[in-house]
């Protein structure tokens, strides 16, 4: 083994799980290397959550300026430069990636760009890139290779007429019309973005509602809001017969569930054809696991995701997994938590903790956020619950800001008041959800939230008043 560099931990993947795990191990004084095939920050920072938020902020600001008269302001003309919008988004990503690289240096993490393969427990090699051919010995390995966008079978992705969110983040020109397939968070955010900048947007979802993981009432409210904004939404709809031509894409939309229709004796489901300059596919993600393990090394998998135990260790001793590669919910903040917890555990700094409570956020306008159980899930569990709601139309700050769309909804135990979940749609929902995340984690009650004084006037008062509404004591205007 002479000449082979040795580490306490090698992290494969430099996204939110990978860089967080590597930095945490560095903070613990361990000798660490992080091997990333593209750039520090992974998909989230370079091609996902960070650059999309920059785009969405531009779209939100553009819409506010267009409607400045609401605030008593006069703006004669407003326009946008799509290339500069994209350029700003890429600049934000580059700045944040440099920040991660700085943190690697600060915490003495060796950062290597290349594709890594685990040859055996405790042995890693780089198979592609400038460091190709290097071998490393390590006491522990953390796999944090994340996911990549799922693609529609049989459809050729050219990155111009047919693309995923990654290609959209490097778009050269603003399309006049877009078909977005998939209405999870990514699909909804891009539908909002393109529509806000003036494109004709068709949003298609095969399930009965958009944002299907969210509370039903939230999904319905968002649907109404997006339709009002001009987005054409088709739910319970599948796509067939994609045709990519010189000027764009055509696709047949089939409304309803084919299997159920057959059972009900329906001869043919309703169909329509839509066309647009661009089709954006946002139908989910798949595990990015190809080539991570040598052929002879076979860790236990679950639907192609790494299967891990409570300590994040795979079926192979000394090899751990964290983040999207171990399965849903596929969220950057969850990935970071998992990686830090795994590293703390492997080096004896507290017992590892698996994620049970986390916030889910969608950054369209109005924003959507949630934590814990939905009303439906709580009732399906047989829980006796109370529901408290408070509309932003009754919030002085929201009305003064001309952002009174939406509400806060809290689910709690009917007897004890313990908070099981919370759901928000409205301005700054993704910021407001943190208080309820802490409440669920701490097993707090609606009365404890209600009795905590919130500054007036603030949007956060709606969080307090939703809890008060559960008790029949909501007051604020």
pLDDT tens for each residue of 100-157: 999 999 999 999 999 999 999 999 999 999 899 999 999 999 999 999 999 999 999 9
**Whether residue 252 sits in one domain with residue 133:** no
Q: Which of 405, 377, 371, 397 is nearest to 221 (CA)?
A: 405
**H helix or E strand, kind and range, residue 116:** strand 115-120
Q: Which of 140, 138, 142, 143 is nearest to 1 (CA)?
A: 138
**Whether residue 123 sits in one domain with residue 20:** yes
CB 432 within 8 A of CB 372: no
Pick the last residue of a domain from 281, 308, 333.
Answer: 281
**Whether residue 330 sits in one domain with residue 370:** no
Prediction pTM value: 0.94
Helix 82-106 to helix 49-66 angle (10° resolution) is 140
Report the SS3 class of residue 438: helix
Cβ neighbour number for residue 114 with a 10 Å cutoff: 18
* Number of structural domains the chain divides into: 3
**Whether residue 16 sits in one domain with residue 116:** yes
Residues 7-34 have pLDDT tens digits of 999 999 999 999 999 999 999 999 999 9
pLDDT value of position 148:
94
Q: Which of 228, 180, 207, 186 is nearest to 360 (CA)?
A: 186
pLDDT value of position 235:
97
Phi-psi region of 313 (alpha: psi -120 to 50; beta: other; left: phi over 0): beta
Domain contains 355 = no
CATH number at 393 reads 3.30.390.30
Pick the last residue of a domain from 264, 281, 298.
Answer: 281
* pLDDT of 237 above 60: yes
Cβ neighbour number for residue 147 with a 10 Å cutoff: 20
Domain span at 187: 162-281
Domain contains 218 = yes
Domain contains 476 = no
pLDDT band for position 1 (50/70/90)? very low
Residues 160-183 have pLDDT tens digits of 999 999 999 999 999 999 999 999
The mean pLDDT value of the chain amounts to: 95
Q: Which of 183, 212, 186, 214 is nearest to 409 (CA)?
A: 214
Residue 451 burial by CB count (10 A; 0-12/13-18/19+): exposed, middle or buried? exposed
Q: Which residue has the tokens 């590597």?
A: 22
Residues 39-75 have pLDDT tens digits of 999 998 999 999 999 999 999 999 999 999 999 999 9
Give 260's contacts (C-beta < 8 A, 6+ positions apart). none
Domain contains 379 = yes
Domain contains 361 = no
Domain contains 156 = no
pLDDT band for position 2 (50/70/90)? very low
Please measure the distance between the N-terminal and C-terminal CA atoms of the chain and give it in whole angstroms.
72
Residues 398-449 have pLDDT tens digits of 999 999 999 999 999 999 999 999 999 999 999 999 999 999 999 999 999 9
pLDDT value of position 401:
96
* pLDDT of 261 above 80: no
> Token pair of 181, please?
């397939």
The whole-angstrom separation of Cα 413 and Cα 417 is 5
**Whether residue 326 sits in one domain with residue 233:** no
Domain contains 153 = no
The whole-angstrom separation of Cα 191 and Cα 183 is 9
The whole-angstrom separation of Cα 451 and Cα 34 is 46
**Whether residue 235 sits in one domain with residue 176:** yes
CATH number at 177 reads 3.50.50.60
Give 5's contacts (C-beta < 8 A, 6+ positions apart). 33, 134, 136, 137
**Whether residue 143 sits in one domain with residue 16:** yes
Domain contains 247 = yes
Q: Which residue has the tokens 């399965």?
A: 327
Buried b (16+ CB within 10 A) or exposed e, 417-443: bbbbbbbbbbbbbbebbebbbebbeee
Active site residues: 456
**Whether residue 423 sits in one domain with residue 290:** no
**Whether residue 396 sits in one domain with residue 323:** no
**Whether residue 176 sits in one domain with residue 60:** no
**Whether residue 141 sits in one domain with residue 58:** yes
Q: Which of 137, 102, 118 is nearest to 5 (CA)?
A: 137
**Whether residue 243 sits in one domain with residue 186:** yes
Give 158's contacts (C-beta < 8 A, 6+ positions apart). 244
Residue 338 burial by CB count (10 A; 0-12/13-18/19+): exposed, middle or buried? buried
């Amino acid at each position: 083994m002479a000449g082979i560099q040795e580490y306490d931990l090698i992290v494969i993947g430099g996204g939110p799980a990978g860089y967080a795990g590597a930095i945490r191990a560095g903070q613990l004084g361990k000798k660490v290397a992080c091997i990333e095939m593209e750039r520090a920050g992974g998909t989230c920072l370079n091609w996902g959550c960070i650059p999309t938020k920059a785009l969405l902020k531009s779209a939100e600001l553009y819409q506010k300026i267009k409607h400045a008269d609401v605030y008593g302001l006069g703006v004669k003309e407003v326009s946008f430069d799509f290339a500069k919008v994209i350029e700003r988004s890429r600049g934000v990503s580059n700045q944040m990636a440099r920040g991660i690289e700085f943190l690697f240096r600060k915490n003495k993490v060796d950062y290597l760009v290349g594709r890594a393969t685990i040859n055996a427990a405790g042995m890693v090699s780089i198979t592609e890139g400038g460091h190709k051919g290097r071998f490393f010995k390590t006491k522990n390995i953390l796999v944090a290779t994340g996911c990549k966008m799922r693609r529609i079978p049989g459809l050729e992705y050219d990155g111009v007429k047919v693309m995923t969110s990654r290609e959209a983040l490097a778009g050269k020109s603003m399309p006049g019309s877009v078909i977005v397939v998939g209405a999870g968070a990514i699909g909804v955010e891009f539908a909002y973005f393109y529509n806000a900048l003036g494109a004709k947007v068709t949003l298609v979802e095969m399930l009965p509602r958009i944002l299907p993981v969210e509370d039903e009432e939230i999904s319905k409210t968002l649907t109404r809001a997006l339709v009002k904004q001009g987005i054409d939404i088709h739910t319970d709809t599948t796509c067939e017969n994609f045709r990519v031509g010189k000027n764009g894409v055509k696709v047949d939309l089939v409304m309803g569930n084919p299997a159920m229709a057959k059972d009900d004796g329906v001869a043919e489901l309703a169909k329509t054809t839509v066309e647009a300059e661009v089709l954006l596919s946002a139908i989910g993600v798949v595990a990015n696991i190809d080539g991570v393990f040598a052929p002879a090394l076979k860790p236990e998998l679950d639907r192609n995701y790494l299967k891990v135990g409570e300590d994040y260790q795979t079926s192979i001793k000394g090899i751990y997994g964290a983040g999207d590669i171990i399965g849903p919910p596929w969220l950057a903040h969850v990935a970071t938590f998992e990686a830090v917890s795994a590293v703390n555990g492997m080096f004896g700094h507290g017992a590892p903790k698996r994620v049970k409570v986390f916030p889910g956020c969608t950054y369209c306008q109005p924003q959507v956020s949630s934590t814990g159980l939905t009303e439906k899930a709580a009732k399906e569990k047989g829980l006796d619950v109370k529901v408290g709601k408070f509309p932003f139309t009754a919030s002085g700050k929201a009305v003064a800001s001309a952002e009174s769309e939406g509400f806060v909804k809290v689910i709690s135990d009917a007897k004890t008041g313990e908070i099981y979940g919370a759901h928000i749609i409205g301005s700054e929902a993704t910021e407001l959800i943190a208080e309820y995340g802490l409440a669920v984690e701490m097993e707090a009650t609606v009365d404890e939230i209600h009795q905590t004084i919130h500054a007036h006037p603030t949007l956060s008062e709606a969080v307090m008043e939703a809890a008060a509404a559960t008790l029949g004591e909501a007051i604020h205007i």
